[in-house]
Amino acid sequence: MSHTVPATLLSAYQFGDLTLKNHLVMAPMTRSRALVEGNVPNPLAATYYAQRATAGLIISEATQVSPQGVGYIRTPGIHSPEQVEGWRKVTDAVHAASGLIFAQLWHVGRVSHADFHGGEPPVAPSAIAAEGEVFTWNGKVPLDTPRALETVEIPGIVEDFRKAAANAKAAGFDGVEIHGASGYLLDQFLQDNANQRSDRYGGSLENRARFALEVTAAAIEVFGAKRVGYKVTPNLPLHSMADGNKLATFTYLAQELDKLGIGYLHVGEAIAGPMAVPEGVERITPHLRKAFKGALIVNGGYDAKSGEQALVEDRADLVCYGVPFLTSPDLPERFRRGVAPNSPDFASFYGTPNGDALGYTDYPTL
């Protein structure tokens, strides 16, 4: 079987002052198992993440920077002392298993509902609702029309991200990833269909990217540039996202992030599976590879063979795996032996009525 071993994928990678044991990154995946009281990480999360410390780098599930950033039930935050304490148990367990873990910092913006905010509407760059539904404690409800943020409020949200980065450091995380993807707040500011502002955060490309760059700079203040990453999903129409010139928009952002010197750019642009970029639509990732000089992480539909290929052909520096890591804590070893990942149980992705361990910490290793 030796010919099937993805040699580059399984070799160590020097990432700034961190040595990753392989080129595999575990994707940030919402699992909806935070404690109901206070959105504190579930004690089981320590086991879940430690099991997957086989990855060169783990990126945590999306983690709210403030109560205003909440849009889903049972998702963890990193803005209260109890949440920081909960995450400390996770990072201790991952480090004890010789792993590395970054926290993904998140604000959902308009992808939320008044149920989460004491009856007040969620916030966004502009008062434009996204299509879709969200689960609140009152069941499934349509997404609310948000209110447009006042210019004077934006520095406060930048500060929320800075505090969240400081909390991540206090909780023992090795770095942070800014969630600028999937139609959440930073993505809403960047793409022109969601941002109809006329102040310094809207209109021109430079203005629409300003908020993202301010947030990134705030995280750099805490961790240093090389311990900060940024995630984008340039061709994902999730939560009604669209832009008049995606190539120009995301290339500009990548160039500006490069100037800030951050450690990596994480690009979710699937090559296979249900989220794959449709035929005839231009892929943005190759352009971002040229625009960004730091490490490029690719994500979406990769297996051992296509991941290895991306590295060998210098299309990426690291490869991110979501569902395969969810189902197979020993994914690198499976790749080494040419063994397929476990099959996913989709019904248990976002918690189950029968207990939090089900489909979470109970997937078997070889």
What is the distance between the alpha carbons of residues 167 and 230, in angstroms, rounded to a whole number?
18
Going by C-alpha positions, the residue among 96, 263, 247, 275 that lies closest to residue 182 is 275
Q: How far is CA 346 from CA 71, 217, 284, 352, 358, in A?
A: 21, 37, 29, 11, 11
What is the distance between the alpha carbons of residues 138 and 125, in angstroms, rounded to a whole number?
26
Q: How far is CA 225 from CA 210, 222, 265, 348, in A?
A: 17, 9, 12, 36
Residue 118 burial (10 A CB sphere; 0-12, 13-18, 19+):
exposed
Helix (H, G, I), strand (E, B) or coil at 72: coil
C-alpha R_g of the chain: 19
Q: Is 350 a catalytic residue?
A: no
Q: Catalytic residue among 13, 49, 72, 184, which?
A: 184
> Is there a contact between 331 and 54 (Cβ–Cβ < 8 Å)?
yes
Going by C-alpha positions, the residue among 264, 263, 231 that lies closest to residue 250 is 231
Other C-beta atoms within 10 Å of 96: how many? Answer: 11
Task: Please give the positions annotated as active site.
Answer: 184
